[in-house]
């Protein structure tokens, strides 16, 4: 039996939720920087976004760090990340007010 961040991988999470991040001053952080333990996240940008949004794990994100967040409705897929805390997700947005939705399991 394998473990990841001291949790068993063969146990299906029984809870979860979602949070929205709004980009302000070109930056955002999952759950407003407040710890929110999880096992997995699915991330997608709002279809109304007008700029580019990027995400990085564990460190502030900039215009050249991290990877692009897919926009809902344009390519019909989401970014799927295994991570132990939503607050470890850091976002960069080229346009303030753009939004990112995060669905998490814990």
- Give the chain's radius of gyration (CA, Å): 14
* Mean pLDDT, residues 78-83: 93
Q: Where are the domains of the chain?
A: 24-105
Which pLDDT does position 28 carry in this prediction?
A: 97
CB atoms within 10 A of CB 49: 20
Asked if residue 72 lies in contact with residue 46, where contact means CB atoms within 8 angstroms, the answer is: yes
Tens of pLDDT, residue by residue over 30-76, are 999 999 999 999 999 999 999 999 999 999 999 999 999 998 876 66
Percent of the chain with pLDDT over 90: 75
For residue 14, name the pLDDT band (cuts at 50, 70, 90).
confident
């Amino acid at each position: 039996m394998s473990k990841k961040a001291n949790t068993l991988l063969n146990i299906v999470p029984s809870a979860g939720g979602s949070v929205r991040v709004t980009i302000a001053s070109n930056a955002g952080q999952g759950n407003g920087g407040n710890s929110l333990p999880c096992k997995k996240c699915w991330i997608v940008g709002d279809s109304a976004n007008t700029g580019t949004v990027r995400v990085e794990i564990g460190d502030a994100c900039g215009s050249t760090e991290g990877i692009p967040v897919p926009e809902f409705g344009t390519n019909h897929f989401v970014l799927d990340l295994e991570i132990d805390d939503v607050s470890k997700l850091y976002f960069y947005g080229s346009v303030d007010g753009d939004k990112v939705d995060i669905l998490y399991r814990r």
